[in-house]
Amino acid sequence: MDSHKLTALVVDDDRMVRIIHGKMLNSVGVKNQVVQNGKEAINVHLSGQTFDLILMDLDMPIMNGIEAIKELRSMGICSTIAGVSARSMESHIQEFMEAGLDEYLEKPLNISKLTSFIHKFYVTN
Amino acid sequence: MERSQPRRQVAAMKQSLFDQGLLDEQFIQLEELSDDANPNFVEEIVTLYYRDSSRLISSIEQALKERHTLDFNKLDTLMHQFKGSSSSIGAKKVKAECTLFREYCRTGNAEGCMKTFQQLKKEYASLRKKLEAYFQLARQAGPMETACRPK
């Protein structure tokens, strides 16, 4: 699938990170929305919207990334979810993966990491 | 021909910031996101960084005032956030001080935390001044066609 037909949701409590990740997604042709925490991510889905990709920050107030991913998966959301965090310790990554995400991306994100992630899950055969 | 001189100065200033170890590749990533719609994207992001992170700096400062009963978990959490933001703009030296501070939090070293925080604030303030000068020169030079990578 061409990345220009994909949609994404950016979930991060840091305003600057939301802007940067949104701009990165725009630059590779992925239409996207941004929300501030896991609760807002859930609400966006409850309103009927779905996304091909979700970039989910780990540490957020109100509802963190792990809680949000578990909730989304229990709602039957099958989007490709990447956990995005500055944490690098193996134990934390394991917890994140077990919550139901498809990929872990270490911050800071860059275009190369983003396109590799997209190509991994949306390669045109 | 006259136009190229200011642009060379901009490139030289940027090279210097990298040579001093103040910035890393992430800064270039941000420059590459600039386009006709947002020609000053990096400057806007850096402005936002200094605006939003000042709250974190104040919170850490406040938490460090509890000299005899420092909450190292709270300090580590705050610094984790600050480090994340700093790494998003490629603030290499600031990020290194954040890492050192977190190490001191892990070992419960109050003195280490306080000394490192003072150094971090110096690096943070110094970077701000240098980036302001860089952006001012870049605006005077006019838009670059592409982000140029330092050597």
For testing the chain B interface, which of A17, A18, A20 should be mutated: the one with the most B CBs within 10 Å? A20
Per-position pLDDT tens, chain A of length 125: 566 789 999 999 999 999 999 999 999 999 999 999 999 999 999 999 999 999 999 888 899 999 999 999 999 999 999 999 887 666 677 877 888 999 999 889 999 999 999 999 886 54
CATH number of B1-31+38-139: 1.20.120.160
Encoded amino acid at B17, one letter: L
CB contact under 8 Å between B80 and A86, yes or no, is yes
Indicate the DSSP class of residue B149.
Answer: P
| Contacts of B23 by beta carbon, 8 Å cutoff, 6+ apart | B14, B17, B90, B91, B92
Q: Please answer whether residues B10 and B137 qualify as being in contact, where contact means their C-beta atoms are separated by less than 8 angstroms.
A: yes
Q: Taking residues B81-94, what's their average pLDDT?
A: 95
CATH number of the domain bearing residue A19: 3.40.50.2300
Q: How many residues does chain A have?
A: 125
| Shortest alpha-carbon distance between residue B73 and chain A (Å) | 14
A33 versus B150: the higher-pLDDT residue is A33
Peptide bond into B39 cis (omega under 30): no
pTM: 0.90
If you measure CA to CA, which chain A residue comes closest to B78? A59
The whole-number average pLDDT for the span B38-55 is: 95
DSSP character string of B99-133: HHHHHHHHTT-HHHHHHHHHHHHHHHHHHHHHHHH
Do the chains contact at A23 and B38, CB–CB below 8 Å?
Answer: yes
Among B9, B18, B15, B28, smallest CA distance to B147 is for B28
The four Cα atoms B103, B108, B112, B113 give a dihedral, to 10 degrees, of 80
As for how many domains chain A has, the answer is 1
* ipTM tops the 0.90 cut: no
pLDDT confidence tier of residue B1, bands split at 50, 70 and 90: very low
Is the pLDDT at B71 greater than 70? The verdict is yes
A100 CA: distance to closest CA in chain B (Å):
23
Domain ranges across chain B: 1-31+38-139
User: Residue B82's pLDDT is what?
Assistant: 94
Q: CA-nearest residue of chain B to A109? A: B88
- Specify if A80 maps to a domain: yes
Residue B46: band (very low, low, confident or very high) from pLDDT cuts 50, 70, 90: very high
**What's the rounded Cα separation, in Å, for the pair B35 and B70?**
46
Per the prediction, chain B carries an average pLDDT of 91
Tell me the pairing of strands A31-35 and A53-57: unpaired
- Please name the residues in contact with B60: beta carbons below 8 A apart, sequence gap of 6 or more: B75, B78, B79, B82, B117
pLDDT value of residue B146 = 45
CA B97, B100, B102, B104 torsion-angle sign: negative
Rounded-to-integer distance, Cα B34 and Cα B29, Å: 9
Cβ-defined contact of A16 to B81 (cutoff 8 Å) = no
The sheet with strand A7-11 has its strands ordered as A31-35, A7-11, A53-57, A80-85, A103-106
Q: What is the pLDDT of residues B8-27, one digit of tens each?
A: 999 999 999 999 999 999 99
Nearest CA in chain B to A86: B84
**Model pLDDT, residue B148:** 61
Cα separation, B113 vs A2, in Å, equals 49
Query: Hunting for tokens 């997604």 — which residue is that?
Result: A25
Give residue A86's pLDDT.
81
Q: Is B92 exposed, middle or buried (0-12, 13-18, 19+ CB in 10 A)?
A: buried
Q: How many whole angstroms separate alpha carbon B119 and alpha carbon B71?
A: 20
Reading the block at residue A73, the tokens are 């998966």
**Which residue has 């950016």 as its token pair?**
A10
Domain-embedded: residue A69 = yes
* Parent domain of A103: 7-119
Residue A123 pLDDT: 66
Mean pLDDT of B77-103: 95
**Residue B80 with chain A: CB contacts under 8 Å:** 59, 86-87
Q: What angle do CA A66, B98, A67 make, to 5 degrees?
A: 5
Please indicate, yes or no, if residue A124 is contained in any of the structural domains: no
Torsion of Cα atoms, A26 then A117 then B78 then B106, to 10°: -160
